[in-house]
Amino acid sequence: MQNVYLDHSATTPVDKAVAAIVREYMVEKFGNPSSIHSYGRSARPIKDQSREQIASVIGCLPEEVYFTSGGTEADNLAMIGYALGNRDKGNHIVISNIEHPAVEKSAKMLEGMEFEVTRVKADQYGEVPTDDVKDALTDSTILVSIMHVNNEVGTINDLSAIGSILSEHDIAFHTDAVQSFGKVPIDVKAMGLDMLSLSAHKFYGPKGIGALYVRNGISLSPRTFGGGQESGYRSGTENIPGIAAIGLAASICQSEITEEASKLTRWRDYMYDRIKGALSDVSLNGHPIKRLPGNLSLLFRGVPGDALLIALDMEGVAASAGSACASGSITPSPVLSAIGLSDSEARSSIRFTLGRSNSREEIEYAANVVINYVRRFRETSVNAH
Ligand SMILES: *Cc1c(COP(=O)(O)O)cnc(C)c1O
């Protein structure tokens, strides 16, 4: 049996060099960067270096990068911080109906505070139509938040097109780029972005550290109060080991991005072709072309997705359900439902996400295991009738 990790959209293993720098800033350069003495001084330069490394990936200024505890906090700060800080401009917000809960629940919270939210529907491929975003705008719209890449089906939205429409208005544009950062090219200027969220553990860094890009000229109402770190946006002693790590992880991604994207696209397409060649009634969720390189979300008609996942796990293959599993009860994924899958189709969907930790042989092994088990499940269900 092999162990094959195909759940890189849930989290990634930490790169070895990144783990080493975490240790360095935990054990050796452990000072509080606000301290005057040499320990404090030794922990200070890494903050600027890390900001530069992140800024270089997305084309912003280092001073426009603010560290947070992860993607969730970055999304919360962007949505709630912008809305509350710019309430005098209007009270209408536009998001999509397939946003991550960190954006969706921030919007929901704002709805309880006299803000109005329009949720633009993604199409059957998981793409948010630019024209529908345009149609959703009103005179009181202050903020649009559309994710770059969807975490379940991997569809890549055309942020440049949306950004160019918003550039004609005084409306802030935020994107949740947690799934795309370091994997799909991003240029905040070309895309017209004012804010962008990212999280280290989705690109081979540790959990618990993320960042929010906030364009100079945009002002947020802080959500955290205290010592005034991160220019007052995010008080609290900085997570220096995490900050060292996220910068290094970002720069490794930057140097690998082209090669890695083409490799993962090849393997993903190979895995799909193998499975589709061997099995009937399999289809792809998400966009056939505009998709995250490593994302393969498949619908195996008639197969119980939860049982298939468990069987794959017993063979060492780790994937994820198209359904969110909460306290033992499987509820169909809201994203899959939103793009038009029935409950039973959503329950028969499995997401494989390939990444840097995989090898060509692992993909071959995983494809074979999937084919064998889907066949077995289908035979069993035929016999049961
Ligand atoms: C993982 C994820 C988040 C949350 O990031 P955390 O660092 O885990 O809080 C937000 N948005 C998307 C699209 C994600 O995939």
Mutate to test the pocket of ligand 1, among 202, 212, 239, 297 (most ligand atoms within 8 A of CB): 202
For residues 312 and 5, what is the distance between their CA atoms, to the nearest angstrom? 11
- Characterize 106-126 residue by residue with b for buried, 16 or more Cβ atoms within 10 angstroms of its Cβ, and e for exposed: bbeebeeeebebbbbebeebb
d(CA 136, CA 18): 42
Q: Are strands 92-96 and 116-120 parallel, antiparallel or unpaired?
A: parallel
Interatomic CA distance for residues 46 and 241, integer angstroms: 9
CA 149 to ligand 1: nearest atom: 13
Query: Is 325 an active-site residue?
Result: yes
Q: How many residues does the chain have?
A: 385
The β-bridge relationship of strands 65-68 and 210-214 is antiparallel
Q: Which residue puts its alpha carbon closest to atom 5 of ligand 1? A: 71
Q: Ligand 1: which of 103, 181, 199, 212 to mutate, most ligand atoms within 8 Å of CB?
A: 199
What gap in Å lies between CA 112 and CA 83, rounded to an integer?
A: 13
Report whether 68 contacts 74 (CB < 8 A). yes
Q: Is the CB of 102 under 6 A from ligand 1?
A: yes
CB of residue 297 inside a 6 A radius of ligand 1: no
- pTM (2 decimals)? 0.96
Please give the chain's pLDDT, 385 residues, in tens. 899 999 999 999 999 999 999 999 999 999 999 999 999 999 999 999 999 999 999 999 999 999 999 999 999 999 999 999 999 999 999 999 999 999 999 999 999 999 999 999 999 999 999 999 999 999 999 999 999 999 999 999 999 999 999 999 999 999 999 999 999 999 999 999 999 999 999 999 999 999 999 999 999 999 999 999 999 999 999 999 999 999 999 999 999 999 999 999 999 999 999 999 999 999 999 999 999 999 999 999 999 999 999 999 999 999 998 655 544 556 788 999 999 999 999 999 999 999 998 999 999 999 999 999 999 999 887 655 4
- Taking the CA of residue 210 as reference, the ligand 1 atom at the shortest distance is 7
**Residue 201 in contact with residue 247, Cβ under 8 Å?**
no
Which numbered atom of ligand 1 lies nearest the CA of 201? 7
182 C-beta closer than 6 A to ligand 1? no
Q: How many CA atoms lie within 13 A of 325 on its CB side?
A: 11
Which of the residues 325, 361, 376, 379 is marked catalytic?
A: 325
Residue 137 to residue 110: CA distance in whole angstroms:
17
